[in-house]
Amino acid sequence: MTVQEYMLSLGVTAKAAAAAARRASTEEKNAALLEIARAIRTHTDVIVAANKVDLERAAAAGLDSASLDRLALNELALENIISGIEQIVALPDPVGQMSDRVIRPNGLKISKMRVPIGVIGMIYESRPNVTIDAAGLCLKSGNAVILRGGSESIESNRALYRCIYEGLENSALDTGIIQLVDTVDRQAVGELLTMSGYVDLIIPRGGKGLIQRISAETKIAVLKHLDGVCHVFIDAEADLGMAHTIAMNAKTQRYATCNTMETLLVDREVANCVLPDLAKALSAEGVELRVCQETATILNGEIACIEATDADWREEYNAPILSIKICSGLDDAIDHISTFGSNHTDSIVTENVSKADRFLREIDSSSVMVNTSTRFADGFEYGLGAEIGISTDKLHARGPVGLEGLTSQKFIVHGEGQIR
């Protein structure tokens, strides 16, 4: 069988399984999820051993330690994965939820029913836990999924998939609902991206390069997660203690996450009060500061900083680097974010309700916040239970995407013989 034929066979199986998944009851889906969890618990040793094979090969190939960390699966990581499944079981089933019911003058009853999307193609890099998270979310939302993990984690993914398969076999559901692309041949991804007759949505999880390449290559809808150039704006009417705490947290709690602050905006009126202490604290954490001229003047050579260029305002550092700019009020801050931001997550610190409302309304980002840290932009923090990804697109779903983002709505019409 060629790679093309193999991928097509996965597509045909997935499409048939999607019809079965759409029909599955909440009880059947939850029972299958718990069977998968049970299989993972039963086969923990096998999974850890398979993961060791991946880790050894990766170490021999000279993978850096951060990448090895992401790849590693120990018993604790597997317990977390199992508890993730149990959380998905506990979430309400979005499929079949009815809303927007109206009765028209002719007596027709119109409403909307939430329904699965169909077949999801999930393409991800090294983390093997995505295999289970994605499988669980797709199953619970009534979709079929084709999983394509990174080649570094192929043995871990195979071991995890055997648990998924065993769980599905012990359930009332079709095993075709969850499939793993069981080859490291790179052509498999290319084939998947052409299968628009079989795949309804591609979800890539990985670096910006991966997502751009996938978007460029396919006519299938892609749930895109591109830049996270997130801002915190300290308004003139901010509680300055709170502003300090939020800015520190938004930058330093983790550096490599998409919802980390990359640019701090400060109203000129409070810049003198807030910036020296904040810059000092950031510097003490090892954060490099790239600042506008006015900020440099305020810091007055006492805190190390370099002058920002226009490129800095557009940059997602994913590193202990922060750009800082002084603004002349809310309008200026909104303008800056609209010009240089990436529509991901932005926060204002202010005690003024009107300014907060204007910021919430006018900033066109997937998450807009008042008096809190951008680091909260996350499916789990939002109570979505788990996320399949974060969307920076403006259609279908924006921000963290959980079960609901894996569904759509169809119209339901009840009549008693009405004709037009």
**Sheet containing 261-267, strands listed edge to edge, beginning at the edge strand earlier in sequence:** 306-307, 288-291, 321-327, 261-267, 230-234, 345-349
- Shorter beta-carbon distance to a second copy: residue 280 or 394: 394
The least CB distance from residue 239 to a second copy, in Å, is 7
Contact characters 334-353, a second copy, x per CB under 8 A: ----x--------x------
* Token pair belonging to 88: 């998905």
Taking the complex as a whole, the smallest distance from the CB of residue 407 to a second copy amounts, in Å, to 10
Binding window for a second copy (CB under 8 A); candidates: 73-81, 83-91, 170-178, 355-363: 355-363
Quote the least distance from Cβ 4 to a second copy, whole Å. 21
Separation of alpha carbons 60 and 70, rounded Å: 16
Contact pick of 242, 273, 296, 321 for a second copy (by CB under 8 A): 242
Q: Which of 368, 386, 388, 403 binds a second copy (CB under 8 A)?
A: 368
CA–CA distance, 109 with 194 (Å, rounded to integer)? 39
Residue 393 within binding range of a second copy, rule CB under 8 A: yes
List 22, 41, 70, 268, residue binding a second copy (CB under 8 A): 22
Does 420 bind a second copy (CB under 8 A)? Our answer is: yes
List the structure tokens of 84. 């993730």
Q: Does residue 172 belong to the site contacting a second copy (CB under 8 A)? A: no
Is 10 in contact with 175 (CB distance < 8 Å)? no
Q: Which residue in the block uniquely carries the two structure tokens 């190390």?
A: 304
The span from the CA of 413 to the CA of 231, in Å, is 45
CA–CA dist 297, 105 (Å, integer): 68
Q: Does 29 bind a second copy (CB under 8 A)?
A: no
CB 136 within 8 A of CB 17: no
388 near a second copy, rule: CB under 8 A: no
Among 170, 253, 283, 352, which residue interacts with a second copy (rule: CB under 8 A)?
Answer: 253
Using CB under 8 A as the binding rule, the residues of this chain from 200 to 239 that contact a second copy are 200-201, 215-216, 219, 221, 239
- Under rule CB under 8 A, how many of the chain's residues touch a second copy? 66
- Whichever of 90 and 419 has its CB closer to a second copy, that residue is 419
* Residue 295 contacts residue 280 (beta carbons within 8 Å): no
Using CB under 8 A as the binding rule, whether residue 375 contacts a second copy is answered as yes
Residue 373 to residue 78: CA distance in whole angstroms? 30
Query: How buried is 186 (Cβ within 10 angstroms: 0-12 exposed, 13-18 middle, 19+ buried)?
Result: exposed
CB of 298 to a second copy, least distance (A): 24
Which two three-digit tokens encode residue 107?
């007596």
Q: Which H or E run includes 348?
A: strand 345-349
- Separation CA 294–CA 325 (nearest Å): 8
Task: Give the nearer residue to a second copy in terms of CB position, either 294 or 393.
Answer: 393
Contact flag: residue 329 with a second copy (CB under 8 A)? no
Question: Max CA-CA distance within the chain?
Answer: 81
Report how far Cα 136 is from the mean position of its chain's Cα atoms.
15
90-129 positions binding a second copy, by CB under 8 A: 96, 102, 104, 108, 110, 113, 115, 117-118
Which of 302, 414 has the CB closer to a second copy? 414
**Tokens 């940059």 sit on residue:** 315
Contact positions toward a second copy, by CB under 8 A? 19, 22-23, 96, 102, 104, 108, 110, 113, 115, 117-118, 200-201, 215-216, 219, 221, 239, 242, 245-246, 248-249, 253, 338, 347, 360-362, 364-373, 375-377, 381-383, 393-396, 398-400, 408-420
